[in-house]
Amino acid sequence: MIEVSHCNLSYKQGTSQVKVYDDFSLKIEQGESLVLIGPSGCGKSTLLYLLAGLLQPTGGQVKIWGEPVKGTRQKSAIILQEYGLFPWLNVEQNVSLGLRVRHMSRAKCKSAAEEMIQKMRLGEVKYNFPSQLSGGQRQRVALARALTLQPDLLLMDEPLSALDALTRERLQKLLLEIWQERNLTTVLVTHSIEEAVFLGSRILVLLDGRPTRVVGEIHNPMVGEKGYRQTEEFFQKTSYVRSLLERGGLDESAK
Ligand SMILES: Nc1ncnc2c1ncn2[C@@H]1O[C@H](COP(=O)(O)OP(=O)(O)OP(=O)(O)O)[C@@H](O)[C@H]1O
């Protein structure tokens, strides 16, 4: 279980403080695929950074599998909005980077990276640099790099937002496969309602209220089932999330 308990977090903006989280709590079960959706600036990335240990709350605590998070941890992988690839390293070097900084031998790094490069179908571009890749390929490199570290928690901040519609759907399927195969715990931030319902076993709808408020929590047990996107249930769930976002709160009639 991941527990965010009574967390407070404010940012300094000029001479004032912007209160993003105030007494905020959240629990995430092992193996869940949690999606955070909400308007720009409502605090989604901040929550991801708290979970990653990149930010520390000023009050309260984050615990992962019972351990308080005091900084970044080896088993948490985060994929940021700009993918975080190093432009001066080629695909193979980017993928193996995490292992190299953990002092794994060169040969082991190479074979672990190669396995992941094949899985992500990046073999043909493995000596290319990030500037020579498409958005979808860059995203797969970022995923490959995160997965070589065998994380138990994968945090993703709008990982697919820069992609064209078809590439995005292909990578959504890939993310689902990875989640199901590895029984990973994932937290994904998105602005897309369809993506939230396609990928989230639970969806949290957040709104900016200074502090951030959770205005809806949707359990989505059919996630990952074949053909889910074409079902009535999928349509209903997306309509419900949309109504929460539009009306800024719980609308019982749309449930
Ligand atoms: N380093 C910072 N310094 C000051 N204020 C910040 C900082 N980072 C974020 N904020 C503010 O905190 C609030 C929440 O930001 P956050 O990035 O978590 O929102 P978000 O929901 O992820 O937004 P987006 O969807 O646009 O990425 C915003 O009002 C933002 O302006």
Got the DSSP string for 7-50? EEEEEEETTEEEEEEEEEEEEE-TT-EEEEE-STTSSHHHHHHH
> Does residue 80 fall inside a structural domain?
no
Among 129, 150, 171, identify where a domain stops.
150
User: DSSP labels for 145-204?
Assistant: HHHHT--SEEEEESTTTTS-HHHHHHHHHHHHHHHHHHT-EEEEEES-HHHHHHH-SEEE
Domain count of the chain? 2
Among 150, 167, 189, identify where a domain stops.
150
Residues 145 and 158 in one domain: no
Strands 185-190 and 212-219, bridge-based pairing? unpaired
> Does residue 239 fall inside a structural domain?
yes
Residues 142 and 106 in one domain: yes
Question: How far is the centre of ligand 1, averaged over its atoms, from the C-alpha of 115 (Å)?
Answer: 36
Half-sphere exposure of 166 (CA within 13 A, CB side): 0
Residues 234 and 173 in one domain: yes
From 233, 214, 226, 252, select the one nearest 47 (Cα to Cα): 214
Residues 99 and 222 in one domain: no
Residues 134 and 161 in one domain: no
> Does residue 119 fall inside a structural domain?
yes
> Does residue 255 fall inside a structural domain?
no
| Residue pLDDT, tens place only, 156-180 | 998 888 778 888 888 899 889 889 8
CATH number at residue 68: 3.40.50.300
CA dist 197 and 237 (Å) reads: 7
Among 125, 150, 175, identify where a domain stops.
150
| Residue pLDDT, tens place only, 228-248 | 999 999 999 999 999 999 877
> Does residue 118 fall inside a structural domain?
yes
> Does residue 190 fall inside a structural domain?
yes
Residues 107 and 134 in one domain: yes
Res. 250 pLDDT band, cuts 50 70 90 = very low
User: Residues with Cβ within 6 A of ligand 1?
Assistant: 11, 13, 18, 20, 38, 40-46
CA dist 45 and 107 (Å) reads: 36
Residues 19 and 114 in one domain: no
Res. 7 pLDDT band, cuts 50 70 90 = very high
Q: Are 121 and 143 in contact (CB under 8 A)?
A: no
Looking at residue 82, its pLDDT comes to 67
Residues 71 and 170 in one domain: yes
- Residue 70 in this model has a pLDDT that exceeds 50: yes
Residues 161 and 146 in one domain: no
Residues 168 and 59 in one domain: yes
If you take atom 4 of ligand 1, which residue's CA is the nearest one? 11
Question: How far is the centre of ligand 1, averaged over its atoms, from the C-alpha of 221 (Å)?
Answer: 30
Residues 162 and 214 in one domain: yes
Instruction: Give the chain's radius of gyration (CA, Å).
Output: 19
Residues 195/214/225/139 CA torsion (nearest 10 deg):
40
| Residue pLDDT, tens place only, 115-153 | 889 888 899 999 999 999 988 888 889 888 888 888 999
Looking at residue 234, its pLDDT comes to 96
Tell which phi-psi region holds residue 217, choosing left (phi > 0), alpha (psi between -120 and 50) or beta.
beta
- CA dist 11 to 39, 62, 214, Å? 18, 18, 19
ipTM of the prediction:
0.97
Question: How far is the centre of ligand 1, averaged over its atoms, from the C-alpha of 18 (Å)?
Answer: 9
Mean predicted lDDT score pLDDT of the chain: 89
Residues 222 and 122 in one domain: no
The residues near 135 (Cβ < 8 Å, ≥ 6 apart) are 162, 163, 164, 167
Q: Are 220 and 203 in contact (CB under 8 A)?
A: yes
If you take atom 23 of ligand 1, which residue's CA is the nearest one? 41
Higher pLDDT among residues 33 and 136, named by residue: 33
Residue with tokens 């074409």: 230
| Span of 73-82, 124-133, 200-209, 226-235 with lowest mean pLDDT | 73-82
Looking at residue 253, its pLDDT comes to 41
Range of the domain at 36: 2-75+154-250
